[in-house]
A and B are shown apart, each in its own frame.
Chain A
Amino acid sequence: MQSTKLTDNLSNLSIPNAAWLFIGSLILFLLSGCQQTLNQPAPQYVRSIHPDNVQTLQEGHGYLLMAVTTNLNIRSLFINGPINIALKQADLESGTNYILVPLPQGQYNISEISMYFGNYSFDKNDYWNFEVMGDTISYIGDLQTEFQGKYNTTISYELRNRSSYALEFLENKYPTLLKSKTVVYSGFGEDRFLEFMTQKSKANTDSGSDEPLEHSSK
């Protein structure tokens, strides 16, 4: 896991200085959040789609599937790309939250976590980049965050590939969607498990065995 401290280098400072730096850091992080909103298009707040409300996917769009596991409620999670989005606390509560959202296809990156006591920016490198592919469910991994320390100011985070759990989630919650869409792993590294399994599953479905029967018009 990687970890970031809001209060880096505090241990060598006297307490009053440390306190000031802590406040300074907090402001800095808050400002960095503001800066994002000034320099980039404002994020659209989105919610994970409800299993009973899956709508037809627009042309040139695909689904982002991820999970967020956290020990504290997260205020917002910012993801930048062809459009900038922000997920809100309703989808980011303490525990494991699966998130499925339709997005324009393209390259995205996880950019920031916002807490009520400060913001945490992710490094701008490959490790937080992913692609949402058109007409496909792109699973990017489980974002595991753990807030530690006396004031929860240290965060450990990593993106874990838990494809089989994600597939089980889709089977339980979105069985119809799963039948019509290919699922691919789009997180860090390469993994063809989801592709292999969903193609195999679709091949079975294509035999017609799972097609619903038509009712009599009477």
Chain B
Amino acid sequence: MIQSKKIPIVVTVFILLSAVVTSVHLQANTIISGEELFKTPYYTVPQISPDGKFVIGKVDDGEKRELVITDVNAKKRYPVIFFAKRNYLRNFYWIDSDSIYIEYISGKKNKNSIVNVDVNNLAVKQPAQQISAEGYLLSSLPEVENQVLFARRLSEDDLEIYQIATSDLVNGNFASAQKFESHLKDAFFYSYNDQNSAFFGLKFDKDENAFSIWFLAPNKKTWRLLYDSDNLSFQLKPIQYLSDNKFLVLTNQITERMSVAVFDLVSQKVEKIVYEDPKHDIISAEADDESGELISVTFLQHGEQEVLYFKQELADIENYYMDAEDDDPAYTVDTSADGTRSIVLAYGASHPGTYILFDEKTQSTQLIEHQYPSLIEHEFAKTRRIEMELASGETQEGFLTLPYLNGNGTLLIMLEAGSTASDKMTEFSPSVQYLASRGYAILRLDYQSPVEFIESDTDTYNVRMNTLLESDINELVEYVKQRFNYDKACPIGYGYGGYSALRMSMLYQQNYQCVISLFGIYDLQLLFSANNAEALKLNQQAIKELLQNQNASFVEKAPVYLAKGFNKPVLMVAGENDDVAIPEQFNRMSYVLERQIDDLENYIYSDVGHGFERWFQELQFHAVIDDFLRRHLSLAPLEEISDNEVAAEEYVVISDMFAFDTLTENKASKSFEYLVKASRLGHPRAMFNHGAHFHRGDLVSRNFTKAMELYQKASEVGYASASYRVAEFLSRGTEVDQDLPKAYEYYLLADQQGHDARAGLKAARYVCKGEVVERDVDLCKRLFDIKKIRKDNLKNRQIKVDENSKKLWRSLFPDLMLASGNTTEQQAFYKRLLYEEFEIVDVKAQFELVEEGIFTNAGLTGHKKTTDQIPMTPGVKFGVRFRLNKQADSTENSAIIVQIFRTTEKQQKAVIRQRIEQKSGRQFRQDWYIDKELSSAEAVPSLYEIQIYNLDAELLYSKTFNVGSFI
């Protein structure tokens, strides 16, 4: 996907580069909110056009996602294509300097498009043309102008490869395309290396339920078998041909997740793991063809693709760079065809990433975009490497991030299996920065998992127990605590790190004040006995020997069996669907700790596997971690070190975690506890929900006065739902005294605050009629024009028009149309809306009565008696049948307005039905029928008056029916 070429670097260039990067770092001693940190980067995966004039990149602002193109020379940016929420962008890249290939999933379908970029007129919408042929692009063939390599799918397991002109591909014209002859029989998937022109092919044998992976080496004509297996329990995906026998692959064969590895053809084994991410499956990778060094890996971060770059082309100036105020390494992301222009990513442990264009010819740099523009005003904590010689003579390395403000004397030790030393120095970690900005120091280690699956063959694993390193880690922790004067320490473990975090705290209880474990493994025995399907994958003989040799110590080593005498606060979280740290691991540890310690906080997330799958879950649980630490280590509450807004937001986030089925167990009272905290700090939604608790009497005594106070406070700080609710109370006058002018103001306020269209529509009812407030035709038109509101919402996401809004809008129509004093402008406005929404036109017609009185059935044939005296019998139907004779022979739709009033002894005349009745043009001449059927409750002496109006509010018919001889 990404072209990388070595570019000569001149030191002076990086003075410029450094200036670009450092200029965005402002000092701002404030806590960074979790919302700013735990989110998808705003700008990612930029790629430069072959001619170096344009950069295309993905923008995601949380609401909308789009591809944008930057005109490098003009320094301007233009949108190229929007992606709706249901569409998932898989891939995009330049085919040539004026066309971009885009691959995305819409619903469940894979779609390919080509955008032909009008480079002379980027301000206009660039048309995307869908590729009609089934298949996918194998390569943009950078060396061949206007030609691509396309895998055309003829059937499920029949693919053909073509070199085809871009224009022919768009038109589905394969006649002139060049078919690749050395195809792999029955292949259902191909991939291709641009770097060395090697092919990979995948075959699946349905009968044997086995797949095989084949390769076609550069300049060869015979496909060779790379790997076959009838065991589908693990995956192996070839990425790159490195040499005759070596391949870069993605596999989960011997690691917890899909990792980048070198696979050896001869031994048929994974030779070494090149990159393993502790939290993500790698979905793609690229290595240097000559050196084999990793250039980049791609993984899914909470549903979106993210790329990590490794190729430090700028290494020769890194010393200079490191000495500068910003010590971020920089990576080449993409290079123009002639190698003179490159996109460089300046990114590091304390820098969330900035894409810069470097022009070698002019020796200049230009900012393209920050990955997180909203973070540029923040200062980030720096990470330093520390090393110490242990008592054993071994050297232990650690990476320490110290807080730059709010230091609270607490050291957190992060244990994540699979993470490497370089990760800690080079990767921007939202988690580390979140905690550091709240005053914690974070110590990370090159942590080795306590158990490894090794020496795999086709269908089994062997297992190796690593010497546990808790004593070494503890020694380093003690050193750091003394050296930097920390009096409190808590380990945070992730996966196997949870095992070590708990174990270390149990073994060295006096050194740790609490433990946090996420998705932890606590009893290694369970790896071999979790179920009788998983266990099949393991080499049973090897495990038996292992257990026989190490049985006693093996069991004793696990935290589940070490808890005796342990009593420190523990926070644990698990995923309901975790198939690595299965729920039994969590429950087993919880079972032991519940009987042993005073403070256990343990939660299982619903619909979560081995790790959080959404950003908000990360945010949520980090807020929980901070809160847990503050409570148990007697640290200052968050609101004392941050502004109330940040603290309140995080309390709400915690409150939400305990509600809304986020956890398998709903903890309503806990949720309420945090809601109250947030409410007291003035959080708008929290105050509203707090009010709702008083309103309902839920977890507190019912108290409408308090509810109203909180609703009003929430309204004052801009919470639209609160304003709407207050308006409703004032409008209906049951909970509080009716005050329609005030209700109008609150409806209007709710509308301004972004409530759905109902608030504006209800305000429109007053302002259009001019009853409660002065008539304002302009405002009336703005509030009631639902089509415009909907259109504006699509564009700017201002006021949502949902089904309830539409229903309300329809119900308000007759009332507004029949209001006295409507201006001509208003009448025309209402008619226009009717036409826009229902294609109803104002057809002039003459009313002709057919029948009125009692009817046996609804419809045209059931007339029983012409009368206005109706018996007081439940089920009796009365009404009117009539015709409307159009003046012209129009086939257009038209409508009438119907109102029915009722008067009883207890209730004065009131509208009980008010609606627009419409008919299509063809049905217009047929009989119309308006009726009322008495229910049991309505079978009392009463008067019913039916009124029928045309769209000019002219009364066509009026009739009063006397039920039960009311008069």
Q: Which residues of A contact B (CB under 8 A)?
A: 1-2, 127-128, 141, 158-165, 167-168, 185, 187-193, 196-197
A193 to B525, CA, bound (A): 9
Q: Which of B525, B531, B583 has the most CB of A within 10 A?
A: B531
Min CB distance, A72 to chain B, in Å?
20
Query: Are B528 and A189 in contact, with the CB atoms below 8 A?
Result: yes
Q: Does B224 contact A (CB under 8 A)?
A: no
Query: Are B535 and A164 in contact, with the CB atoms below 8 A?
Result: no
Q: Which residues of B contact A188 (CB under 8 A)?
A: 529, 531-532, 535
Q: Which 7 A-B pairs have the closest CB atoms?
A: A189-B529, A188-B532, A164-B588, A127-B532, A191-B529, A160-B531, A164-B587
Min CB distance, B938 to chain A, in Å?
46
Q: Does B523 contact A (CB under 8 A)?
A: yes
Q: Which residues of B contact A162 (CB under 8 A)?
A: 583-584, 587
For A185, give its contact among B529, B533, B582 (CB under 8 Å): B529
Query: Are B536 and A127 in contact, with the CB atoms below 8 A?
Result: yes
For B531, give its contact among A159, A164, A193 (CB under 8 Å): A159
Query: Are B532 and A193 in contact, with the CB atoms below 8 A?
Result: no
Q: Which residues of B contact A165 (CB under 8 A)?
A: 584, 587
Q: A141-B532, A160-B531, A187-B532 are in contact. Are A192 and B525 (CB under 8 A)?
A: yes
Min CB distance, B596 to chain A, in Å?
11
Q: Does B526 contact A (CB under 8 A)?
A: yes
Q: A163-B588, A168-B591, A196-B555 are in contact. Are A187 and B529 (CB under 8 A)?
A: yes
Q: Does B547 contact A (CB under 8 A)?
A: yes
A164 to B530, CA, bound (A): 12
Given contacts A1-B533, A189-B529, A191-B529, 16 further A-B contacts (CB under 8 A): A127-B536, A158-B531, A158-B532, A160-B531, A161-B531, A163-B588, A167-B591, A168-B587, A189-B528, A189-B530, A189-B532, A191-B528, A192-B555, A193-B523, A193-B560, A197-B591
Can you list 24 A-B pairs, Cβ within 8 angstroms, ordered by A? A127-B532, A127-B535, A159-B531, A161-B530, A161-B531, A162-B583, A162-B587, A163-B588, A164-B584, A164-B588, A164-B590, A167-B591, A187-B529, A187-B532, A189-B529, A190-B528, A191-B526, A191-B528, A191-B529, A192-B525, A192-B555, A193-B525, A196-B555, A197-B592
For B591, give its contact among A158, A164, A187 (CB under 8 Å): A164
Q: Which residues of A contact B583 (CB under 8 A)?
A: 162
A191 to B535, CA, bound (A): 12
| Chain B 875-902: CB-based contact to A (< 8 A → 1; otherwise 0) | 0000000000000000000000000000
Q: Which residues of B contact A167 (CB under 8 A)?
A: 591
Query: Are B532 and A159 in contact, with the CB atoms below 8 A?
Result: yes
Nearest opposing residue in chain B for A12, CB measure: B206
A188 to B543, CA, bound (A): 13
Q: Which residues of B contact A163 (CB under 8 A)?
A: 584, 588
Nearest opposing residue in chain B for A129, CB measure: B532
Min CB distance, B156 to chain A, in Å?
13
Q: Which residues of A contact B584 (CB under 8 A)?
A: 160-165
Q: Which residues of B contact A161 (CB under 8 A)?
A: 526, 529-531, 584
A191 to B547, CA, bound (A): 10
Nearest opposing residue in chain A for B594, CB measure: A168
Q: Which residues of A contact B536 (CB under 8 A)?
A: 127
A128 to B582, CA, bound (A): 21
How many A-B pairs fall under 8 Å by CB?
71
Q: Does B561 contact A (CB under 8 A)?
A: yes
Q: Which residues of B contact A192 (CB under 8 A)?
A: 525, 555
Query: Are B525 and A190 in contact, with the CB atoms below 8 A?
Result: yes
Query: Which parts of B545-577 form the interface with A (CB within 8 Å)?
Result: 547, 555, 560-561
Min CB distance, B222 to chain A, in Å?
32
A193 to B547, CA, bound (A): 14
Q: Which residues of B contact A164 (CB under 8 A)?
A: 584, 587-588, 590-591
A64 to B314, CA, bound (A): 67
Q: Which residues of A contact B530 (CB under 8 A)?
A: 160-161, 189
Min CB distance, A142 to chain B, in Å?
9
Q: Which residues of A contact B561 (CB under 8 A)?
A: 196
A127 to B529, CA, bound (A): 11
Min CB distance, B443 to chain A, in Å?
32
Q: Which residues of B contact A159 (CB under 8 A)?
A: 531-532
Min CB distance, B556 to chain A, in Å?
9
Min CB distance, B597 to chain A, in Å?
16
Query: Which parts of B366-396 form the interface with A (CB within 8 Å)?
Result: none
Q: Which residues of A contact B529 (CB under 8 A)?
A: 161, 185, 187-191
Q: Which of A1, A160, A165, A189 has the most CB of B within 10 A?
A: A189
A190 to B592, CA, bound (A): 19
Q: A161-B530, A196-B561 are in contact. Are A189 and B535 (CB under 8 A)?
A: yes
Q: Which residues of A contact B528 (CB under 8 A)?
A: 189-191
Nearest opposing residue in chain B for A160, CB measure: B531
A196 to B526, CA, bound (A): 14
A167 to B592, CA, bound (A): 11
Q: Which residues of A contact B533 (CB under 8 A)?
A: 1-2, 158
Nearest opposing residue in chain B for A189, CB measure: B529
Query: Are B531 and A141 in contact, with the CB atoms below 8 A?
Result: yes
Q: Which residues of B contact A190 (CB under 8 A)?
A: 525, 528-529, 544, 547
Min CB distance, A107 to chain B, in Å?
16
Q: Which residues of A contact B532 (CB under 8 A)?
A: 127-128, 141, 158-159, 187-189
Q: Which of B532, B533, B587, B590 has the most CB of A within 10 A?
A: B532
Min CB distance, A133 to chain B, in Å?
17
A163 to B533, CA, bound (A): 17
Q: Which residues of A contact B591 (CB under 8 A)?
A: 164, 167-168, 197
A2 to B536, CA, bound (A): 11
Min CB distance, A138 to chain B, in Å?
14
Min CB distance, B665 to chain A, in Å?
14
Q: Which residues of A contact B590 (CB under 8 A)?
A: 164
Min CB distance, A62 to chain B, in Å?
20
A162 to B528, CA, bound (A): 13
Q: Which residues of A contact B547 (CB under 8 A)?
A: 190
| Chain B 204-231: CB-based contact to A (< 8 A → 1; otherwise 0) | 0000000000000000000000000000
Q: Which residues of A contact B526 (CB under 8 A)?
A: 161, 191, 193
